[in-house]
A and B are shown apart, each in its own frame.
Chain A
Amino acid sequence: MYQLNEVTQTYHCRGKIVTALNSIDISIEDNEFLAIVGPSGSGKTTLLSVLGGMLKPEHGEVLFDGDSLYDLPLARRAQLRGTKIGFVFQTFNLVPWLTALENVQIPMMLGGFSSKQQIARASELLERVGLHDRIDHHPGELSQGQQQRVALARTLANDPQVILADEPTGNLDHETRHQVMEYLAEFHRDGRTIILVTHDADTAAFANRTLRLVHGAPHSNEALHAA
């Protein structure tokens, strides 16, 4: 699915150069569940941005399904995010003045689906994450765990091949965290590729491979099996 060749990304901060990704070469296969772990500032989120087609690296090549991601025009990359790549965020990033149903409709609206199709699919997805009775609720009326489940439903709206999750359990309590990870594991079992950034070892344990980044470079690669 992904092939990264000598990808380098640096930031300039107060006259100093900070290396976020240091000439990394990694390969991520279809239907893989990969956890990216590492200390703060190790380049985890930068790597996720690069994989999501949102940050063109200074050097190197990013291949997605064999195509060079950053040789595609901006509009095409946006389209790719709308159809093949799904995102899950730590802070859920739901639009506060839209209902749960409308939030899930957003990717389909961007994809040009009719209102009828959007409502049918969004209702089905909210039911799948156990929120069929909360479809008209605004995010402020939902618990953190429920908000993340709405976000998961939104991620699935356009049936993406890959889900990029940035600390998806960072704001959740232990029980809800487990519930969210179960959903991600379920999505993985559906055949999707899951790439997850996390600080939490329990969360990382759901992945079948862990990539540890230190100073922008893979430190060690170890295979773990989902619990």
Chain B
Amino acid sequence: MKIQHLIWKEMRKRPTPMITSLLAVTLGVMALVAIQNIAVFSQKKIAGDMESLGANVLVLPPNASLQDYYAADMHGETMPEEFVTRLAFARLPGVENLAPKLCVETSASGQDVVVTGILPRSEYQAKSAWQGLGMFASDVGSDRGCCSTTATSLAGSDDPNSLATERTIQDLGAREVILGSLAAEKLSAKVGDELPLLGGDFNVLAVLPEAGTVDDSRVFAHLHSVQELAETGPVVNVIEIVACCEDAAGSLISNLSAELPETKIVTISQVVQTQLAVNTLMSRLSWVFFSILLLVGASSIASVMFANVTERRQEIGTLMALGASRSFVTRLFLGKAVVLGVVGGIAGYAGGTVLAIILGPRLLSVSVQPLPMLLVTSLVAATLVAVMASFLPARRAAGLDPCLVFNDA
């Protein structure tokens, strides 16, 4: 027999008061785990949404008026392509990707189409002045939200289809085009076909899957080919920036404005800010609930433990008469507190996770998975609270006069 056996058997003997305390601790942990879990996955969802949205900051010529965020390159105003170089050199924190575009309306195979000039990533790498910047794979921005996801996904994509989601493509030849799904249908073109455009012949490199955006009706060609064939000179209509959502909501816009004062910066920062604020609020609220409920749990544990000490006075006195030291008696009660904390932590984690999995999709349309890190937090916090709440009762038990075991003492 060991002290653990003594603790466990006593708890089994008197489960009712323990269940009350356990419930309070479990509820506190549940609240924390559920809200934190939903907040984390909501954050990830925002990141995913931002990623699928593509660019979240647009750099436009000063006279451009923006009617449609997704057709920001159709205003007809231009600005020098050199602005892209300036932005790249500025190495602003939060900038994950730059995608300059030039749009030209033309006809092909008797159909009106919009040809969009884009700059492939290989183009950046070819320019020695930009080499070594490491901007696309660097750990820019914070480690939360969309930044890490986006940076990782951009690091090695060379599939032409990446244009649909990442706004960039690794390679695109001077006489190659990528067709949006609707454009391909309209032009009756498929991969490998020859397509006459702007007076030049282009080979169809890929057909993008349907995205439900204006990109579906676009024909994408190399920026410099479009500039050359449309005789526009080295200009672009828009520079799309894929930015970290936190930075897009923060200092990035003012940094961009400072870097390119002669342009207009448009962002969806308000959306980002609102979503981030909700997440932050939820996260903070979860700690408030957690603290309140744990305080209630701690009070309950302390009260139950004091009652337990009173109830077990004779047993404690007997143990002392039989040779138990004060430290043994203290450990007897703190051990019980550890059991309460561990069981409460695990039960709260399990309950909170289940609650998050049920409520996440219903309240915020967020799909939630268990977060093992929260188990560690739950266990540590619940155990710490239970032990602290039991400290005084344990000290009181250890200070009992062993003479109380005698008949008329």
Contacts and interface: CB of A to CB of B under 8 A. Distances in A.
Contacts of A102: 1, 5, 9
A48 B57 CA distance: 87
Nearest to A167: B407
A191 interface: no
A41 B322 CA distance: 25
A226 to B, nearest CB: 24
A114 B315 CA distance: 22
Interface in A96-133: 96-98, 102, 105-107, 109-111, 115, 118
A54 interface: yes
Contacts of B402: 54
B326 interface: yes
Interface stretch (A21-29, A72-80, A201-209): A72-80
A107 B320 contact: no
Given A40-B408, A49-B406, A54-B403, A82 B10 contact: no
Interface stretch (A60-68, A84-92, A141-149, A174-182): A84-92
Given A109-B3, A115-B2, A52 B322 contact: no
Given A93-B314, A97-B12, A81 B323 contact: yes
A106 B328 CA distance: 12
Interface residues of A, number: 39
Contacts of A41: 408
A78 B403 contact: no
Given A97-B9, A105-B1, A110-B328, A91 B322 contact: no
A48 B321 CA distance: 12
Interface of A: 40-41, 45-46, 48-49, 52, 54-55, 74-75, 78-79, 81-83, 87, 89-91, 93, 95-98, 102, 105-107, 109-111, 115, 118, 154, 158, 166-167, 170
Nearest to A151: B318
Interface string B303-314: 000000000001
Contact of A107 (B5, B317, B322, B328): B322
Interface in B270-329: 314-315, 317-328
B409 interface: yes
Nearest to B14: A97
Contacts of B327: 75
A107 B148 CA distance: 60
B403 A55 contact: yes
A74 B318 CA distance: 16
Nearest to A54: B402
B319 A110 contact: yes
A97 B320 contact: no
Interface in B8-24: 9-10, 12-13
Given A97-B10, A115-B1, A115-B2, A110 B322 contact: yes
Given A83-B323, A98-B9, A109-B3, A93 B407 contact: no
Interface of B: 1-3, 5-6, 9-10, 12-13, 314-315, 317-328, 401-403, 405-409
Interface centre among A81, A96, A170 (most CB of B within 10 A): A81
A91 B321 CA distance: 14
A200 to B, nearest CB: 13
A45 B9 contact: no
A87 B324 CA distance: 13
A78 B325 CA distance: 6
16 contacts: A45-B403, A45-B409, A49-B403, A49-B409, A52-B321, A54-B401, A78-B324, A81-B321, A102-B9, A107-B323, A109-B2, A109-B6, A115-B2, A158-B323, A167-B407, A170-B407
A42 B405 CA distance: 18
Nearest to A92: B318
A170 B10 CA distance: 28
A170 B406 CA distance: 12
Contacts of B5: 102
Contact of B319 (A55, A91, A106, A111): A106
A93 B408 contact: no
A82 B1 contact: no
A97 B314 CA distance: 14
A25 B198 CA distance: 123
Contacts of A154: 322
Given A49-B403, A55-B403, A97-B13, A111 B323 contact: yes
A82 B409 CA distance: 21
Contact of B318 (A78, A93, A170): A93
Nearest to B323: A82
**A-B pairs, 10 with minimum CB distance:** A82-B323, A97-B13, A93-B318, A49-B403, A78-B325, A54-B402, A110-B323, A105-B1, A45-B406, A81-B323
A74 B403 CA distance: 14
Contacts of A107: 322-323
A110 B324 contact: yes
A113 to B, nearest CB: 9
A82 B12 CA distance: 27
Contact of B406 (A48, A74, A96, A111): A48
B407 A166 contact: yes
Contacts of A109: 1-3, 6
A54 B315 contact: no
Contacts of A81: 320-323
Nearest to B11: A97
A55 B406 CA distance: 12
A46 B408 CA distance: 9
